[in-house]
Each structure stands twice: as structure tokens, then as C-alpha cells.
Amino acid sequence: MNISKDEFNTLLKNKKNFIITNAINGDELTPIGVFQNLTSKNKALLESIGKDGNKSRYSIIAITPYKKVYGEKDIINIVDEKGSETLNIDPLEYLKIETNKDIKSDFPFLGGAIGYFGYDMKKNYENIADAKRDTLNVPDFYMMFYKNYIIFDHLMDTVYFAKTILADEDNPLYEEIEKEFSSLEKEITTNRDIKSIDQGEKIEFNSNMEKSQFEKMVTTAKEYIKNGDIFQVVLSQRFSGKFTSDEFSIYRKLRRANPSSYMFYIEYDEFKVLGSSPESLISVKDGIIKTNPIAGTRKRGNNDLEDEKIIEGLLNDEKEVAEHLMLVDLGRNDVGRVSEIGSVKVESMLNPQKYSRVIHLTAMVSGKIKKDIHPLEGFKSVFPAGTLSGAPKIRAMEIINELEEDKRGVYGGAVGYISFNGDIDFAIAIRTALLKDSIAYVQAGAGVVYDSIEENEYFETYNKALGVMEVMG
């Protein structure tokens, strides 16, 4: 244990928040194997691959949530060991109260809430009408609170069992934590066999619209652009198909084929959310806010030489470059609303990044968040991403509501965590699947500008979705 019994009791007596851990050798343990062998429900797995193609230092498995918070608009449902209640409060305001603790650690996640905010949360903060049709029937947001989690330190080949202790809540005895960690170690080390991937039957995906319908949406959007309503709008289509394999195998196939900065698998009671997103919506750590716009896409070539030619063409494509610069500017404005004057900077832009099926132009915008502002105010300022809505953002979202028939759900929203100290890290929910009632849902969009070609935009959405659908089965 990282602290003794006497230190533990002194910290409790002094009303301190802290993290107690126990470290074990982790050179034979993997997040996939451990996740499979854990028997608890409602787990969450967060993994990451760096830009160099190697694993990021940490992976996280959160276990045994003590509270679930979900709902729509300003109606939130809270379920915990005491029962359930419904409150009339903006979800971000509630989450601010719950994640405003004085607690420090070198770990990226310090305990807190993990989950998603769906695209349709936008109506909480802007006067945007409800979508015409809801065929998914999942909450607009769903966060689960965890005090118990497992941290994989891949650099040091160490696995930490961690528990967050909050001074203002009931806490277990030191001996109880020792017993809990011992039981957890036994559970994950007794059986280290990793189950083979369940391939299942091939999934036959179908779109929620005909090709002609999508192209008609693009034509209508271009009229709005010509009339000066907007500069750009992101239109999407959703694919769905019945799957027969187990859900975690689908995630394993996706992470293998599409390793990305944000890989996640979250178990809810009635559905699963999984993904491999390359794009950060927002991160706030130590007072620094960052967002990572991605705009500009090409299908990859068959070899490195073809890729280089494609990148050259992408960087010389006036449409793609203009769209990229427009969304970088939007990201800069979003970050600027909550940052200290003069602190906002574009760290990079027009940076080509190769992914499994496509090449993207990426950027990074950062700022120093204003004092006395909770990081969730930063989340509100950038949500939803301009790369999933358009510019100007509000008018683009109104046009999306007019043209798209179905509520987007998780797609286009954000998946990630809020630590108890307020640090946040959320990916944009792209390259993401919702698994519910044996149906897999995958959605993808394309940015429409004044000179967009209807068929090209259709195939851009199809190719983006194909990168997920092909590996799912």
C-alpha cells in the first residue's frame, strides 16, 4: 500500500481527499485480459495510442460505480445504493458540484465520472429544437461515478489498484481496503487466459437514408451557404446492422484495426458504447485547456508512396484547407471564451495524420483557463465540436436539425471522464459504435462547403463509417 494505516487515519482525521493504491507487477497483465476476467458490471475501459504508434503510458479500468447520473435537458436521474431520485438541474452544474475536490495525483484519472454527452445535449445551452425522430432511445448523457479503478502504467510495467477517499463521504476501514485489493488481485491474476475474439456472423449494415436523400441534403445545405446563412455544415448518415458476436469482441477488433488516441468501452445496463476516436474535443489539466480540430480527409493509398501523394494533394486542395482553417478559427474562438486574455495559441495546424483507412489534417489549439472557472465551462464552450456541426455553429446546428431526420444520440457528442478535481478529457464521439438490443449503430458525417460535390460528400461519410463497419464483422 502507498500509505500506512496511521497515515490513512491521519488523512481522514484532517478531512483530506486522497488516493490509496497498491502496486503489483504488471508485465504479464494487459487491460484486455484484466477487463475480461473482472466479474463486476458497469465497467469502463479507457486506452490510448500515441502519435508514434506506441501505447500511451496509462490505461484505465474503472470498476463498481457507486452512482449513475443520466437524463435529458435539465432533468437528471440519479441512481445509487440509497435508491433513485430525479432532479431538475442542468447536468453540468450538478457535475461541477460533484467534481470540485482538492485532490492530487500523478495519475491521469483520480476517480470521478466516466461516460458520454450525446450531440443532442446541445439544446441545453442553445435554443435548438429537438430532433424530429428518436430511434435509439438512449439518454442524452450518461455518466457513472467511480472511486475504484485499476491503472496500468505501461512504462513501468506496473498495475495499481486504486481507491479515491473523499473526506466528506463515508469511507471504509484500512483493513477493508487491504482485503478488497487482495481480492481484486486474486481475481485478475488467477486466470490470465485471454479469450479468443468471437468473430460472429457478418453484419449487414444499412443506412437510415438512400444515397439520393443524402445528396439532396447536401444540395440544400449548399443553398444555405450561397445565401450567407453558414460557411460550412456537417451532415451525417447512420448505419445499423444486427450482430451476433459478444460486444467486447467487437471492441477488440476495432482497437486492433483502428488504434487511436482515444479508445473506450463502456458497459451500461441496457447498451454499450465503444469507439476508437482520433479527435480530442477538450482536455483540461493543470489549468491548460486544449482542443484538437480535425478537418480535411482523404482515403489512404495502398502504400507509403501513394500516401505521400495523397497528402500532397490534400494540402493543395483549396476546399479542404479552407474548411480546416475555418474550423481551427472556430476552435480558437471556443477556447478563447474561457481562457485568459492573450493565452490562446494555435500549437499546430494542417498537420497530416495517417489512420487505418483515411488521412486527416489535424490541429491543436490551447489556452490557459480563467481562474475560478470549472473546466466544465470549457467543455460547454467547445460543445459540440465545430468539426461535427459547422460554422457559424448555432445556425449550422439548426440546419442539421432541419435536414437530418434522426436524433444523433452519442454520435457527434463526447466520451471521456471528469476527475474529482475537475480535470477533464473528452474525445469527440466519432469512429464510435452504440450496441443495443443486438443492433450495432455507426454514424459518420462530412463537412459541406460552397463547392462541395454531392456524391463526394456521400462517399466521404461512407468511407469514414466503413473503417468501423468492416472490422466489426
Q: How many domains does the chain have?
A: 2
Please write the tens of the pLDDT for every residue from 119-165. Answer: 999 988 888 888 889 999 999 999 999 999 999 999 999 999 999 99
For the cut 70, the answer to whether the pLDDT of residue 221 exceeds it is yes
The 10s digit of each residue's pLDDT in 265-284 is 999 999 999 999 988 999 99
The per-residue pLDDT for 52 is 59
In a shared domain, residues 190 and 308:
no
- 201 compared with 442, residue with greater pLDDT: 442
Same domain, 257 and 309: no
pLDDT attached to residue 29: 92
Lowest mean pLDDT among 90-99, 108-117, 182-191, 425-434: 182-191
Is there a single domain that holds both residue 190 and residue 119? Answer: yes
- 353 and 431 fall within a common domain: no
Residue 191 has pLDDT above 80, yes or no: no
Domain of 275, CATH number, reads: 3.60.120.10
User: Does 124 lie in the same domain as 66?
Assistant: yes
Backbone angles phi, psi at 18, to 5 degrees: -160, 170
Cα–Cα separations (whole angstroms), residue 400 to 268, 410, 448: 28, 15, 11
pLDDT over 70 percentage in the chain = 99
Burial class (CB in 10 A: 0-12, 13-18, 19+), 441: buried
Q: What is the pTM of this model?
A: 0.94
Q: Please say if the pLDDT value at position 192 is more than 80.
A: no
The 10s digit of each residue's pLDDT in 26-51 is 998 999 999 999 999 999 999 998 76
The pLDDT, as a whole number, for residue 359 is 87
- What's the pLDDT at 320? 87
- Which pLDDT does position 319 carry in this prediction? 83
Residue with the bigger pLDDT between 30 and 295: it is 30
Is residue 226 situated within a structural domain? no
Confirm whether 37 is domain-assigned: yes
Residues serving a catalytic function are 360, 387, 411, 431, 447
Does residue 53 surpass a pLDDT of 80? no
The overall average pLDDT reported for the chain is: 93
- Do 173 and 308 lie in a common domain? no
Bridge partners, 282 (sequence order): 426
The whole-number pLDDT of residue 416 equals 98
Instruction: Tell whether 106 and 188 lie within a shared domain.
Output: yes
Q: 144 and 249 in one domain?
A: yes
Pull the grid cell for residue 38.
Answer: 473482472
pLDDT in tens, 310-329: 999 999 998 889 889 988 99
Question: How does residue 294 score in pLDDT terms, banded at 50, 70 and 90?
Answer: confident
pLDDT value for 51: 61
Residue 13 is assigned to a structural domain of this protein: yes
Do 184 and 265 fall into the same domain?
Answer: yes
Secondary structure in 3-state letters for the chain: CCCCHHHHHHHHHCCCCEEEEEEEECCCCCHHHHHHHCCCCCCEEEECECCCCCECCEEEEEECCCEEEEEECCEEEEEECCEEEEEECCHHHHHHHHCCCCCCCCCCCCCEEEEEECHHHHHHCCCCCCCCECCCCCCCEEEEEECEEEEEECCCCEEEEEEEECCCCCCCCHHHHHHHHHHHHHHHHHCCCCCCCCCCCCCCCEECCCHHHHHHHHHHHHHHHHCCCCCEEEEEEEEEEECCCCHHHHHHHHHHHCCCCEEEEEECCCCEEEEEECCEEEEEECCEEEECCEEEEEECCCCHHHHHHHHHHHHCCHHHHHHHHHHHHHHHHHHHCCECCCCCEEEEEEEEEECCCEEEEEEEEEEEECCCCCHHHHHHHHCCCHHHCEECHHHHHHHHHHHCCECCCCCCCEEEEEECCCCEEEEECCCEEEEECCEEEEEEEEEECCCCCHHHHHHHHHHHHHHHHHHHC
For the cut 80, the answer to whether the pLDDT of residue 170 exceeds it is yes
pLDDT for res 363? 94
**Confidence at residue 323, expressed as pLDDT on a 0 to 100 scale:** 84
Distance in angstroms (rounded) separating the CA atoms of residues 58 and 30: 11
Domain assignment present for 457: no
pLDDT confidence band for 353 (50 / 70 / 90): confident
Domain boundary among 334, 365, 396: 365
**Neighbour-count burial of 221, counting CB atoms closer than 10 A to its CB (0-12 exposed, 13-18 middle, 19+ buried):** buried
Q: Are residues 312 and 272 in the same domain?
A: no
Are 16 and 167 in contact, with CB atoms under 8 Å apart? yes
232 belongs to a structural domain: no
Alpha-carbon radius of gyration of the chain:
22
Domain that holds residue 339: 299-365
At residue 199, the pLDDT reads: 84
Question: What's the pLDDT score for residue 198?
Answer: 84
Tell me whether residue 129 is in a domain. yes
